[in-house]
Amino acid sequence: MIEEERSYKLPEKTLPAISFDDHAKDLLEFKEFVDSLGIKTHNTRIARYAQYFVQLAEGNAIDEKKIFKNVNDARFKSSLDWQLYLLREAHELMWILRGLKNHVPKGIEEKIEKIVSGTDFAALDKNTESRDTQFELRIASYFCQSGCTVDISTDTDIVAVTDKHAFFVECKRIAGARNLKDNLVKARDQIILRMPKKYEEKHAFGVIAVDVTKLGFSHNGLTMGLTPDHSRDIIQSKLKEIKKRTSALSIFTGRPDIIECLLQIHIPSIVAYPPTTTTRFSSCSIHNSKLDRKSRSAITEFYGISQAGRLIDDREIPSEHLTLRKILNVPAGTNFSLEQDLITTILSNSDEKNYVPESIVASMKMNDVVHEFSAMELRMVMAKFTSNQLRHLVSNESSERLELVLKMFMQRYPYENSPF
């Protein structure tokens, strides 16, 4: 999905990142924490995640099917597919660990036991209890990292107490549009039933936290973006659509003490420029419009708690500067192959139904490496040519079309420190 309404400038720096070695260390630490509770991790998904990232950090060749023996799904083809789905799992557990290192909530044992028993991948989950519980711990981590006293042992999913307020949080994961309203109404009713006016001598306020990943992306898989900003906007666009739909529901009616509905998407993403794999926790808030003075104070404090994700991990590898490639030196002996008829069809602005976007339109063999370019890449690179230039290229199946191939190469590898 490429958003038509805006263009994206090529980034000139890499994204900050956490090393795979630190991924492995965190997962081993999470495993040790679970073991310390007397909960066995042997032959569970927790142990398998740790094994995978230890091997990845060591640079070893990985046979994913030997580690994850029960996974037989078409979405798990390449090593990159496996890595993205595993990053999704790892990053959520690493986020939970970040909270546990600051504060261990009351009732953690039962919750951890449930998440350990889950299937290896959320995309393949049929019994949702494990991931429902994991989402509760994901949200609880915001409060743990912010210095709250957290209790997850009661009928309420999360009770978090600060110096000023008590927050009663109900967490729901939405599987589809049909159960959005029912789940939100259920969460509201649970808060009304369970939340007192005051808790530990502090005014109590309700928050509904909703994971809408599957509502926004029914495949529950991954997203693809041209740049980090594009990747962010794809997800935020989905959140805005869901926010609009959710805002039309009467979930705050007559209750100024139910202050917010927090929508969240958690999904892995492939970014083309610069080439990156990442996981995004993207959020969007719906505030109760009928807040009183006490509620406004609570929502201000909750906003601060929700910003825990902006805290920088001190292990973070900082961004590196990238220099955009201005020229391409083509060595002698470079060979080109062009599918002239297909190129003519595409340059003529023919209907996309006349060809498959993944069709190969050209190839280039340079330094013994063959690079193949698709119809989709040609469509993208056409924006760099004027209408007159394109008309000229349509009517001339000449060596001038080699410029299209070179432009596609530079489009794919736009940086001086690109691998080719």
Per residue of the chain (420 residues), give pLDDT as tens. 334 456 889 999 999 999 999 999 999 999 999 999 999 999 999 999 999 999 999 998 999 999 999 898 888 989 999 999 999 999 999 999 999 999 999 999 999 999 999 999 988 888 889 999 999 999 999 999 999 999 999 999 999 999 999 999 999 999 888 899 999 999 999 999 999 999 999 999 999 999 999 999 987 678 889 999 999 999 999 999 999 999 999 899 889 999 999 999 999 999 999 999 989 899 999 999 988 999 999 999 999 999 998 889 999 999 999 999 999 999 999 999 999 999 999 999 766 777 888 899 999 999 999 999 999 999 999 988 999 999 999 998 888 999 999 999 999 999 998 888
Is 146 within the bounds of a domain? yes
Whole-angstrom CA distances from 290 to 187, 188, 251, 252, 254 are 19, 15, 12, 8, 8
Say what the alpha-carbon torsion angle 64, 67, 71, 75 is, to the nearest 10 degrees: -20
Query: Please, are residues 251 and 181 in contact by the beta-carbon 8 Å criterion?
Result: no
Q: Which amino acid does the sequence have at 127? A: N
Is 320 within the bounds of a domain? no
Which pair of tokens denotes residue 279? 């996981």
Question: Are 108 and 32 within one domain?
Answer: yes
Nearest by Cα to 196 from 166, 162, 170: 166
Q: Which helix (H) or strand (E) holds 277?
A: strand 276-287
Q: Residue 282 — φ and ψ, nearest 5°? A: -105, 135
Query: Please, are residues 280 and 87 in contact by the beta-carbon 8 Å criterion?
Result: no
- Structural domain tally of the chain? 2
Query: Please, are residues 323 and 415 in contact by the beta-carbon 8 Å criterion?
Result: yes
In this prediction, what percent of the chain has a pLDDT beyond 70? 98
CA 120 to the chain's CA centroid: 17
**96: Cβ–Cβ under 8 A, 6 or more apart, which residues?**
30, 134, 137, 138, 140, 141
Is 95 within the bounds of a domain? yes
3-state secondary structure 9-26: CCCCECCCECCHHHHHHH
Question: Are 248 and 298 within one domain?
Answer: yes
Question: Are 242 and 386 within one domain?
Answer: no
- In angstroms, rounded to a whole number, what is the distance separating the alpha carbons of residues 313 and 249? 38
Query: Please, are residues 282 and 264 in contact by the beta-carbon 8 Å criterion?
Result: yes
Is 326 within the bounds of a domain? no
Q: Which helix (H) or strand (E) holds 209?
A: strand 202-211
In terms of residue numbers, what domain contains 354?
Answer: 335-412
Nearest by Cα to 275 from 202, 314, 226: 226
Question: Are 152 and 278 within one domain?
Answer: yes
pLDDT tens by residue, 159-179: 999 999 999 999 999 988 889
Q: Indicate the SS3 state at residue 231.
A: helix
Question: Are 130 and 227 within one domain?
Answer: yes
Which pair of tokens denotes residue 314? 């001190």
Is 329 within the bounds of a domain? no
pLDDT tens by residue, 109-156: 999 999 999 999 988 888 889 999 999 999 999 999 999 999 999 999
Whole-angstrom CA distances from 418 to 10, 388, 409, 414 are 13, 31, 11, 7
Question: Are 111 and 181 within one domain?
Answer: yes
- In angstroms, rounded to a whole number, what is the distance separating the alpha carbons of residues 52 and 68? 9
Question: Are 280 and 392 within one domain?
Answer: no
Peptide linkage before 357 cis (omega within 30 of 0): no
Domain boundary among 265, 294, 310: 310
Question: Are 274 and 141 within one domain?
Answer: yes
- In angstroms, rounded to a whole number, what is the distance separating the alpha carbons of residues 370 and 53? 31
pLDDT confidence of residue 158:
99
Question: Are 295 and 397 within one domain?
Answer: no
Listed in sequence order, the DSSP H helices in 258-352 are 293-306, 340-347
Is 321 within the bounds of a domain? no
Question: Are 257 and 367 within one domain?
Answer: no
- In angstroms, rounded to a whole number, what is the distance separating the alpha carbons of residues 397 and 376? 20
Domain boundary among 310, 344, 373: 310
Residue corresponding to tokens 């596609």? 408
Question: Are 221 and 360 within one domain?
Answer: no
Is 152 within the bounds of a domain? yes
Question: Are 178 and 297 within one domain?
Answer: yes
Provide the pairing of β-strand 198-199 with 202-211: antiparallel
Is 202 within the bounds of a domain? yes
